[in-house]
Structure formats: structure tokens, C-alpha cells
Amino acid sequence: MMVSDNASPTNHPARRTFLGVAAAALAAGVGFSWWQQHSQTVHEEQLAKLWAAQFAQPNGSDLLLADFQGKPLVLNFWATWCTPCIEEMPLLNAFFMENNPKNWQMIGLAIDQPSAVKRFLSQHPVHYPIGLAGLDGSQLMKDLGNEAGGLPFTLVMNAQGRVQMRKLGKLTAQEIQSWA
């Protein structure tokens, strides 16, 4: 018995329609994600609020964001209870260690209880500064374009203090390497 080409599973009209719709949905999702990460502009007043922010560090000293102006900066919002945050921290730390001599800076802002952050960092230290941001950090995240307030949330800023990239969700090694 011969099967005609029209009867094959890949040529069935319903299957072609489904594959077309699936491809369009995938393209729309990728496009929307790119648009969210690249097209939103952070207004001057929100940038001014960012650069004026000050947070305590786990060691008790102050972390003044204004001290980080003038060089490229990665700003990563995270929490100890956020599994994707914890999973990306070794990648962020490796990027910092490799690129800090090339004038790259990094700050982790913990949206968490100070005691939990101190306990976590004693077991999983990083080489970049950590600020204890708490609820103030949640509002700062929203002001910088993360209206959902989800974690992790990362901004990459150029030496002029402008947002070059933003990402809500876990970073990949490829995304991190693209910054340099």
C-alpha cells in the first residue's frame, strides 16, 4: 500500500498550521523578551535615585553607589532564598574576578534579611561588594524597570551610567560573557 505525500504527518494541513503557529509564538516570545531587556529607558530621576542610594554591607561598612560611577557596572539584585540567584552567583563572581582588572565593577544587592545574607556569605563568599538592600532594594528594582519585582534581576551599565542591558531571571554564561 502506498501513502501519498499529502497523507504524511509533516504535510498534513493541521500539522503545518500548528507548526506555523508554534514558530510564530516562539518568535514573538523571543522578540518580546529582547524588547523588554533593551527598549525600556530608565529616566534621569530613577538613575539619580540609583546613584544616590546607600546600603549597609554585611561587614557593617556603607556601600555608596555613587562611588561606582564612571566605570562599567553590573548591578545584581538577589536573595538567599532565590535558587536561580544562588545558581548564577558563581558565574557573576568569575566574571568579576576576570574583568575587575579591566575596570568592570559589580555590586550584589540582597533583597533579604541581613542575618540570612551574612550566614549565606560566610558559607559562599563572593569577591564583589554586597549591599543589604531589603525593602528599599525592592522599590529600587521597580524604579529601574522590574515592575514585577522578581529575582534575580540584573542591570549592566556603561561608564556613563546608562543602562545597557537588563535581565529578569537567571543569567546564562553566554549572556555574562557578552558583556565584556
Give per-residue pLDDT as tens, 150-171. Answer: 999 999 999 999 999 999 999 9
The answer to whether residue 1 scores a pLDDT higher than 70 is: no
Task: Yes or no: say if 37 and 166 are a contact pair by the CB < 8 Å rule.
Answer: yes
Q: How many helices (H) and strands (E) does the chain have?
A: 6, 7
Contacts of range 87-92, beta carbons closer than 8 Å, 24 or more positions apart: 87/170, 88/152, 88/170, 88/171, 89/124, 89/126, 91/171, 91/173, 91/176, 92/126, 92/128, 92/171, 92/176
Its CATH architecture, for the domain 42-179, is: 3-Layer(aba) Sandwich (3.40)
- Break the chain into its structural domains and give their ranges: 5-36, 42-179
Mean of per-residue pLDDT scores for the chain = 85
Percent of the chain exceeding pLDDT 70 equals 78
Percent of the chain exceeding pLDDT 90 equals 73
The answer to whether residue 23 scores a pLDDT higher than 60 is: no
The answer to whether residue 180 scores a pLDDT higher than 50 is: yes
